[in-house]
Amino acid sequence: MSKTTQESKALPKNLYKELSKPLPEIAIQKTKGALTKKGYDTTGYGYQYLVNRFNDILGVGHWSWKFEVVKEEKGVFNSGKSFWEITGKASIQIEQYTPHSEYGGHRAGNYTDALKGASTNAFKKAAGFFGVGKQAFEGSIDEDNRDVVGFDKDKSDKPKIGVLAFMDKMAKGLTKDTITFWEAEIDNSNYEDMQKVVAHRKLEELTKKL
């Protein structure tokens, strides 16, 4: 292997420095814990702002990225609603430099949202390797700022409030975008079967009013 070939594989330090500069404040996105299902609010960078950084520094056409679906699976929540879960690999290529790939996944109530979530999740991780948005992986900004409406929930996460209080909370937080979220909350709760039935009926009643 020639010296020129070896040198072409290393991303120049000055280029990495430019790519890794903090993104503008407008790029920061905050998501409420009710949507992330993490139990706390999260902060991250919007996908388009990462793309903008690559374009601004490198120029359109001097870098590219692709996404490959590695696994896709269709399942059904306990509520009877179906979901798609997609895992894939995003690869970023900067001209002659060594490309880098990362994996990401997402589960959502429909295929399009699952595909979008998986691809952007993987892209952000791959971009961080080149310094773009790396602050999201350093602790100052949460690495996974995503709305996971439609994600199933770990059954070990048991409710800490009574079912009546839960339904009141559900009524206040329900929107068209969070219906699947609340269905999963009910199905994966520690409530008795009859309580779950009552909660689902309440959810159906509230949904009709949206």
What pLDDT shows up at residue 207?
A: 87
pLDDT in tens, 45-103: 899 999 999 999 999 999 999 999 999 999 987 778 899 999 999 999 999 899 999 99
Per-residue pLDDT band at 139 (split at 50, 70, 90): low
pLDDT band at 34 (very low <50, low <70, confident <90, very high): low
**Nearest to residue 97, comparing CAs of 68, 53, 64?**
64
The amino acid at residue 201 is R
Task: Give the model's pLDDT for residue 101.
Answer: 95
Per the CB < 8 A criterion, the answer to whether 148 and 134 are in contact is: no
Place of tokens 């903008």: 52
**Are 159 and 190 contacting, i.e. CB atoms less than 8 angstroms apart?**
yes
With 70 as the cut, is the pLDDT of residue 5 above it? Answer: no
What is the overall mean pLDDT for the chain? 80
What are the b/e assignments for 57-92, b being 16+ CB within 10 Å? bbeeeebebebeeeeeeeeebebeeebbbbbbbbbb
pLDDT confidence of 16, banded at 50, 70, 90? very high
pLDDT above 90 covers a percentage of the chain that reads 38
User: What domains, with CATH codes, occur in the chain?
Assistant: 3-137 (3.30.390.80), 163-208 (no CATH)
pTM: 0.61
pLDDT at 32: 60
Hey, what are 152's tokens?
């199933």
| Separation between Cα atoms, residue 51 and residue 81, nearest integer Å | 34
Contacts of 96 (CB under 8 A, 6+ apart): 8
- Taking only the tens place, the pLDDT of each residue in 142-182 is 444 444 444 444 444 444 578 888 888 888 888 877 777 77
Residue 45 vs residue 184, higher pLDDT: 45
Length of the chain (residues): 210
Q: What is the pLDDT of residue 147?
A: 43
Tell me, what's the pLDDT at 41?
Answer: 57
What 96-103 contacts at long range (C-beta under 8 Å, 24+ apart), as own/partner pairs, is 96/8, 97/8, 97/9, 97/10, 97/11, 98/9, 98/10, 98/11, 100/126, 100/129, 100/130, 101/126, 102/126, 102/128, 102/129, 103/70
